[in-house]
Amino acid sequence: MRKPNYDKFPATRISGTAFLGWEAILKALEDRTGPLVVDCYTGVYEADVRAALSSGFRSVLTTESVMKSEDEISRITRPFMTDDVLFGHVTCLSLTDFFDTTKLEKLKADLQAAGPDILVVGVGASLLAPSHASLVYADMARWEIQQRIRRHEVKGIGIDNRADPVSIQYKRGLFIDWRVLDAHKDRFFQRIDWWLDTNDAGTPKMIDRDTFFRGMDKTASGPFRVVPFFDPAPWGGQWMKKVCDLNPEAPNYGWCFDCVPEENSLLFDIDGVIFELPANNLVLLRSKELLGGPVEARFGKDFPIRFDFLDTIGGGNLSLQVHPTAQFIREQFGMPYTQDESYYILDAEEGAVVYLGLREGVDPAAMMEDLRAAQRGEMVFDAEKYVNKLPARRHDHFLIPGGTIHCSGAGSMVLEISATPNIFTFKLWDWQRLGLDGKPRPINVERGGKVIDWKRDTAYVHEQLVNHFSDVAEADGWKEIRTGLHPNEFIETRRTSFRKAVTFRTEGSVNVLNLVEGEEAVVESPIGQFEPFIVHYAETFIVPAAVEQYSVRPYGLSEGKTCMTIRASVRFRA
């Protein structure tokens, strides 16, 4: 069997300056006249950074010393944490709300006349930085933060919550800390002199401001991929192990997040030094070029399209679930739009199925009572009594607007195409299954019952949600069809099969594509705007709106054969 060609560590090659290891970093930071200020994203090992940089400094200060007390921070964040085990409410706090204003202003004044023998390290340190300071930002990839959370190594902003359950720590990050720190970082991009990567704690790396912006500009001007990450699941399968060249000894892999810029990383290759930083930096800094003016006007600095994999081949059913309606998610969680989604079937075993929509004549009260009884452990919920069970075959596309009950059954490799908001899944039934931690996973029957659209029955599903295909265009060597999404959803998806080059236009929206058929393809600019970009089977790639026009054709092992992409963009018209 030929070795898989899926690239797990895609990197953008740029020219610039990179420093590898603490010794080289310290030497680069020697030439300064003011204090050294190191701002940190949550998850950074601040104590390690202080220890590595503190040699030769007369005084080493931390931002924790000027923050409010933990009790006060707990009080002001409680409304956003809520009492729910999973869901919070998006915060309206800013980073300055976590600091004692009197202490902050005093230390800030003291640093105005400070020389190069003062080191300040910690979350929010840039709030203290005088104009003559050298400002370093120690950034942290979201996926690495999650690994550290699972090891109980991450503190919240101004609060030591490391002993909390992992789900509660993640909730604080998602609804409070990460949003606060992204907003803070967005205000300081132009002020930062150096960027520090300590995702691999034993191999720190640093780049200068020019290199950082060169990487941002190059990434925003051509096709690119974010760094995918893979995770096991209670229902996880075996397909990704082979296709994505993953650890064959792992029990399973259920998830792959390969286009969720809030969660994924970017890699810069600077003369062989691989520098990692959050992909969300690009969304914050180059939103108009990346998203397109109309998309930015609608969503702000928020990447609205998500691609991920759900692998149940050799695994089990996902939980039976429903996503909230737009009104519910806005009122309950402070999110501006909901997780409308779809299942594109990348691969499937014989007999694979999707559960989608309600059967004809379902009594809502009876179904809800059975779900409650199942949650209490009094019965096994009969999903097939209430929910349509549909065959799932390769290249089928099932549309799942918010409010539609659904789940992928065992035996499918799903490319999930959806709006970006995450964790807003109301599980209704989990097939008598425990989570990876050996405990029952949280069930949200009552919330789910409030958002289920009871009119989405068998007839509706077949008319509106299953393989809702229509021809768009066809020419010599290629054909494009519209595969969705539902009229309620803002994402447009089109599938294109091609034996020769086919040209696409971004039309004011970021494009997200996956090579769903064929081993290799190359993305090219008809005007030489970017270097040819090679993609492989099952890889997701992003084309910024600023590209405007690009072509894709079979390449390498696929030359002379038919390839196929699925392409998503933001819909501006019906």
Task: Classify strands 36-40 and 134-139 as parallel, antiparallel or unpaired.
Answer: parallel
* Contact of 569 with 548, CB cutoff 8 Å: no
- The better pLDDT of the pair 442, 527 is held by 527
Give dist(CA 35, CA 132) in Å, integer.
Answer: 8
Average pLDDT, stretch 283-293?
Answer: 97
| Residues 6+ positions from 53 with CB-CB distance below 8 Å | 22, 25, 26, 29, 36, 38, 119, 121
- CA angle, 170 as apex, 282 and 453 as ends, to 5°? 90
Element holding 26 (H helix, E strand):
helix 22-28
Measured between alpha carbons, how far is 479 from 532 in angstroms, rounded to an integer?
Answer: 22
Q: Percent of the chain scored above 90 by pLDDT?
A: 85
The one-character DSSP state at 526 is T
- Yes or no: domain 470-570 corresponds to CATH 2.60.120.10: yes
Most confident of 1-10, 266-275, 322-331, 489-498: 266-275
Whether residue 366 has pLDDT greater than 90: yes
| Helices marked H in 132-200 | 142-150, 166-172, 178-188
- Distances from the Cα of 64 to the Cαs of 67, 110, 531, 568, in angstroms? 5, 16, 46, 44
Bridge partners for 340 per DSSP = none
In the structure encoding, which two tokens stand for residue 276, read together?
């990692």
CATH for 12-216, options being 1.10.8, 3.40.50, 2.40.50, 2.40.128: 3.40.50
**Which uninterrupted H or E stretch holds 165?**
none
- Residue 486 pLDDT: 74
> pLDDT value at position 2?
54
- Helix (H) / strand (E) element for 7: namely none
Three-state DSSP class for residue 519: coil
* Tokens 């089928």 found at: 396
**Contact partners, residue 339, CB within 8 Å, separation at least 6:** 323, 324, 329, 402, 418, 419, 420, 421, 422, 424, 425
Tell me the per-residue pLDDT of 399-455, one tens digit each, with 9 for 90 and over: 999 899 999 999 999 999 988 655 678 899 999 887 777 777 778 899 899 999 999
| Beta partners for residue 197, in sequence order | 139, 205
Nearest to 278 by CA among 290, 260, 291, 266: 266
Distance between CA atoms of residues 138 and 153, nearest Å:
17
pLDDT of residue 1: 42
Mean pLDDT of 180-189: 96
The DSSP line for 450-508 is HH--TT-BHHHIIIIIB---EEEEEETTEEEEEEE--TTSSEEEEEEEESS-EEEE-TT
The burial of 459, by beta-carbon neighbours within 10 Å (0-12 exposed, 13-18 middle, 19 or more buried), is given as exposed
Per residue in 451-477, pLDDT (tens digit) is 999 999 999 999 999 999 999 999 999
Residue 556, C-beta contacts closer than 8 angstroms, at least 6 positions apart: 519, 520, 522, 534
Q: Starting at the edge strand that comes first in sequence, how are the strands of the sheet with 426-429 ordered?
A: 387-391, 353-358, 406-408, 320-322, 426-429
The average pLDDT across 357-385 equals: 95
Q: What is the CATH number of domain 229-464?
A: 2.60.120.10
Evaluate if residue 571 carries a pLDDT over 90: no
Burial zone of 481 (CB within 10 Å; 0-12 exposed, 13-18 middle, 19+ buried): middle
Confidence grade of residue 338 (pLDDT, cut at 50, 70, 90): low
- In this predicted structure, what is the pLDDT of residue 340? 77
What whole-number distance in Å separates Cα of residue 73 and Cα of residue 69?
6
At 222 the pLDDT is: 97
- Interstrand relation of 134-139 and 194-197 (parallel, antiparallel or unpaired): parallel
Q: Which of 288, 207, 193 is nearest to 12 (CA)?
A: 207
164 within 8 A of 85, measured Cβ to Cβ: no
Give the integer Cα–Cα distance in Å for 256 and 259: 9
How far is Cα 128 from Cα 119, in angstroms, rounded to an integer? 11
Q: What tokens appear for 235 in the block? A: 């229902």
Q: Tell me, what's the pLDDT at 423?
A: 62
pLDDT at site 80: 94
Fold identical between 229-464 and 470-570? yes
What ranges do the domains of the chain cover? Answer: 12-216, 229-464, 470-570
Q: Distance of alpha carbon 83 from its chain centroid, rounded?
A: 25
- Write out the two tokens for 266: 């970017």
DSSP letter for 5, please.
-
The pLDDT assigned to 337 comes to 63
Write the pLDDT tens digit of every residue in 54-92. Answer: 988 999 999 999 999 999 999 999 999 998 877 888 899
The residues, ordered by sequence, that sit 6+ positions from 490 with a Cβ below 8 Å of its Cβ are 304, 337, 340, 419, 570, 571
- In whole angstroms, give the CA distance from residue 514 to residue 523: 12
Evaluate whether 212 touches 530 at the Cβ level (below 8 Å): no
As beta bridge partners, residue 536 has 520
Whether residue 540 contacts residue 307, with contact meaning beta carbons closer than 8 Å, is answered with yes
Convert the pLDDT of each residue in 100-118 to its tens digit: 999 999 999 999 989 999 9
- H-only helix segments in 55-116: 70-81, 101-111
Phi-psi region of 419 (alpha: psi -120 to 50; beta: other; left: phi over 0): beta
Q: What is the predicted pLDDT for the residue at 421? A: 54
Rg of the chain over all Cα atoms, to the nearest angstrom:
25
CA–CA separation, 418 vs 540, rounded Å? 14
Instruction: Please give the pLDDT value at position 99.
Output: 98
